[in-house]
Amino acid sequence: MPIRLLIVDDHTLFRRGLHALLALYPALQVVGEAADAGEALRRTAELRPDVILLDNHLPGVRGVDALPSLREASPASRVLMLTVSEDENDLAEALRNGAHGYVLKTIDGEALQQAIERCMRGEPVISPELAGKLVTAFKAASRAPEAADTRVDRLGTLSPRERDTLRHIAQGASNKEIARALDIAETTVKIHVQNILRKLDMTSRVQAAVYASERGIV
């Protein structure tokens, strides 16, 4: 059976070009495409692909931030980051959030096919260009939270859009109301909420609302 793929990238021409390229390999089958994290979440839950090819630079929610939700939607799916970012922090965060591989868009077709197949087998896949940053990224991804870390410090880990979402949570807004206020999809709001709770080490919206109110984020 061919490896079933979901392509997640906000550039239509790139998605179509990649789709056409992957169609040349009988061992691969593109079963769907998505242009943002919200659509990717819906398509992942619907299609349950074997491998998700995920760009990091997506509108609204970065690929690395969408990783936990995608893995929750389809635990058996493997995620291979396919991006232009050579930043070691992006690499570290991708590994920390559960990516099975990280390759650059400069990769050629045959090498990408091999990367997908290795990813499917559970082997770690990192672009050779990032070999020098791999050790640093691995340490960052595997390092346990330090005792001195507090939720006040973790507030700085939220993206601007996540802070906006937290502000609305503190005001008692529902996901639908937040989506309307920020002009984004409700599924995107869900991803933001999940990321906020994860980054702040909380388990409920009530905790997040109290936390935000105490710190004047409302």
pLDDT value of position 157: 85
Secondary structure (DSSP) of the chain: -PEEEEEE-S-HHHHHHHHHHHTT-TTEEEEEEESSHHHHHHHHHHH--SEEEE-S--SSS-HHHHHHHHHHH-TT-EEEEEES---HHHHHHHHHTT-SEEEETT--HHHHHHHHHHHHTT--EE-GGGHHHHHHHHHHHHPPPPTT--HHHHGGGS-HHHHHHHHHHHTT--HHHHHHHHTS-HHHHHHHHHHHHHHTT-S-HHHHHHHHHHTT--
**Residues 98, 111: contact at Cβ < 8 Å?**
no
Q: Of 192, 198, 97, 88, which Cα lies nearest the Cα of 136?
A: 88
Q: How far apart (Å, rounded) are the C-alpha atoms in residues 178 and 174?
A: 6
Q: How far apart (Å, rounded) are the C-alpha atoms in residues 127 and 42?
A: 28
Please report, as a single letter, which amino acid is at residue 58: L
The single residue listed with the structure tokens 């690929």 is 63
**Residues 191, 37: contact at Cβ < 8 Å?**
yes
Number of residues assigned to the chain? 218
The single residue listed with the structure tokens 């206020």 is 181
What is the pLDDT tens value at each position of the chain, 218 positions in all? 899 999 999 999 999 999 999 999 999 999 999 999 999 999 999 999 999 999 999 988 889 989 989 988 999 999 999 999 888 888 888 888 889 899 999 999 999 999 999 899 887 788 887 866 766 655 554 444 443 345 556 778 888 899 999 999 888 788 888 999 999 998 999 999 999 988 888 877 777 887 887 777 76
Sign of CA dihedral 177, 180, 72, 56: negative
Q: Which domains does the chain have, with CATH numbers?
A: 3-142 (3.40.50.2300), 151-214 (1.10.10.10)
pLDDT value of position 86: 87
pLDDT value of position 148: 38
- Report the predicted TM-score, pTM, of the whole model to 2 decimal places: 0.73
Secondary structure (DSSP) of 68-81: HHHHHH-TT-EEEE
Strands 28-34 and 78-83: unpaired
pLDDT value of position 152: 56
pLDDT value of position 104: 94
